[in-house]
Amino acid sequence: MKTPAKPIRVAIVGAGSAGMAAAFALTNHPEKFKVTVFDKQDVCGGVATSFPIDAEKFGAHFINDGVQGGSPQFFNTYKFFEKIGFTSTDVGMQISFGKGPETFWTNVFPSELVAKHAKDIERFGRVLKVIKVLEPVFAVMSVQAMLRLFRFPTEFGDRLIYPLIALFMGTGNQTPHVSSAILERLFLDPSMSLFTYSPSSLLAEIPTMRAFPSLRDVYAAWQVHISEHRACVRLRTEVTQIITRRKGKVVLRYRNVDQSAGDIGGVQNGAEETEEEFDELVLAADADSCLKMLGKQASWKERRILGNVKYFWDVSITHWDQDYMKKYYELGFRDELMARARKENQESVEIAQTKFQPLYFIHMYEHDPRSIEMSFDLTNYQPQFKQDTHLAGPDTSSASGKSVSDDSGPALTSETSPPHVYQTIFLNRDISDQWTREDIDPSKVLLEKWWKQQGHNWTHYLGTVPWLWTINGRHQTHYAGGWGLVNMHEVGITSGFAAAYQLGADYPFNEDDDARRLFTLVLGLMHLTRMRKKDRRGFFA
């Protein structure tokens, strides 16, 4: 009688979207894989986290504080949510960029700034098509260089294009250096698009986005699922060193982490380090952390490719200080914000007055408009504030359904309705002397959290993305994470599926053409391989 093969022992470092996706795909084959997941945090999810708030005061019992939502094209994300019993919620994407009639614009009603750049906006659509055709060339050209090449006005880039990229890619004040090809894909790629281009207003009026459910609950259910399928999930456990990756084995050294020491994580006094052997390794952490764990084990290629990924530290302040928001942003409709040519159109005015409830805000420093701060109105964005309104007392809106407003126009809550919850993100601590965070009332701060953000510079698409396949799968090591292409939750999940697929697991959504479109792209770029013959539908997929 033939002895059954022993399961392949797989260590996954990182319990964010990539690591958890890899674990999910692998644990669908418990007879083939024995999976162990490590993460130094006390919950799964990585940057996809939730935070409890006072439901009686704010009208909801939690917020998602790291990842808010995404494009309707995040097919793998939503398919997975549904698989474990969660759904996303459609929300109208409304923006409010700038302050005052000269620099303000939105996608909800016409503004003077958009009217001023009408010809530039129309030409921008043609340029996007050129970039798509010549994508390999523009992949290594920054947005800043591209705008100069096509002779767009400086104000067009500073006030309209850079803020869009910064807000949705998390690139902050590194935005001018982002690859032009990524900008094109945000508009035109069917798997990655976040915007719908409009030749008259740049953005189509109020496109649909999707807000995520409670990510803490999602990842908790995800953890239960993989645990029930024989995965071992070790939280509060930091992998400190990869000892060896030779002769078909991987040896890791890890130790317990004391979460009470703060976000950075402190090692418990006298904590013992443990070594354990595995057959394969999936590194689903950021590139810097991968290099740190590899140490002297890192090959020359790994040092060059991983070391080329650039990160910057941002801090987010979750608060309910509406005075701060009014000082730096346009929170509601004011007549002087609308383009003069449209003020006579009463229908446009009524739409602006009744439908303008922005979710996304950008404040630009006047001395350098390319340096920005961004904010979210979580009350307008996240669906639990509507679902939990019964927790916050009676509805105090007017009979017409309009928001209560002050004399200057921005929408305000009444004294008895819940205050809005906002999140303001201050970008790149190297310029923290310019930040306005001191203007936020400390007594109204709910949460302060630092984040490590990827820059997406054009150099990333020259020195990392085209070469990642040369190290992926070598030395029993497989890399997964949004940093391998674009730092999005959807790419994170798909990269985790791709790493598991390379190890022999099935792709879980192979029958869904929309979901597999991005999967085949990630598999091709990050691993330089096609799907297995039995899974293909054509030469490339």
Q: Is pLDDT at 71 greater than 80 in this prediction?
A: yes
Q: Is 341 left (phi over 0), alpha (psi -120 to 50) or beta?
A: alpha
Residue 329, SS3 per DSSP: coil
Q: Is pLDDT at 61 greater than 90 in this prediction?
A: yes
- pLDDT (mean) for 369-398: 71
Is 403 or 151 the better-scoring residue by pLDDT? 151
Residue 397: pLDDT band with limits 50, 70, 90: very low
Contact yes or no for 148/194 (Cβ under 8 A)? no
Residue 263: pLDDT band with limits 50, 70, 90: very low
Instruction: Report d(CA 376, CA 35) in Å as an integer.
Output: 38
Instruction: Report d(CA 265, CA 243) in Å as an integer.
Output: 22
Token duo for residue 536: 């293909």
Contact yes or no for 59/395 (Cβ under 8 A)? no
Instruction: Report d(CA 55, CA 63) in Å as an integer.
Output: 10
Percent of all residues in the chain with a pLDDT value above 70, rounded to a whole number: 88
Contact yes or no for 251/244 (Cβ under 8 A)? yes
Q: Note the pLDDT of residue 114.
A: 92
Residue 93: pLDDT band with limits 50, 70, 90: confident
Q: The whole model's pTM is what? A: 0.87
Q: Note the pLDDT of residue 171.
A: 66
Residue 101, SS3 per DSSP: coil
Helices (H), 356-443: 378-381, 384-387
Token duo for residue 165: 């990229």
Is 347 or 447 the better-scoring residue by pLDDT? 447
- In the chain, CATH 3.50.50.60 sits at 8-42+235-310+457-535
Q: Is pLDDT at 40 greater than 90 in this prediction?
A: yes
Report the mean per-residue pLDDT for the chain.
87
Helix %, strand %, coil % of the chain (to 5):
40, 20, 40
Is 164 or 223 the better-scoring residue by pLDDT? 223
Indicate the angle between helix axes 300-307 and 287-294, nearest 10 degrees.
150
Q: Which architecture characterizes domain 8-42+235-310+457-535 according to CATH?
A: 3-Layer(bba) Sandwich (3.50)
Q: What is the pLDDT of residues 172-209, one digit of tens each?
A: 667 788 888 888 888 887 766 777 788 888 887 788 88
Pairing of strands 368-377, 232-234: unpaired
Q: Is pLDDT at 264 greater than 90 in this prediction?
A: no
Contact yes or no for 93/208 (Cβ under 8 A)? yes
Q: Is pLDDT at 414 greater than 60 in this prediction?
A: no
Token duo for residue 248: 């078909």
Residue 343: pLDDT band with limits 50, 70, 90: low
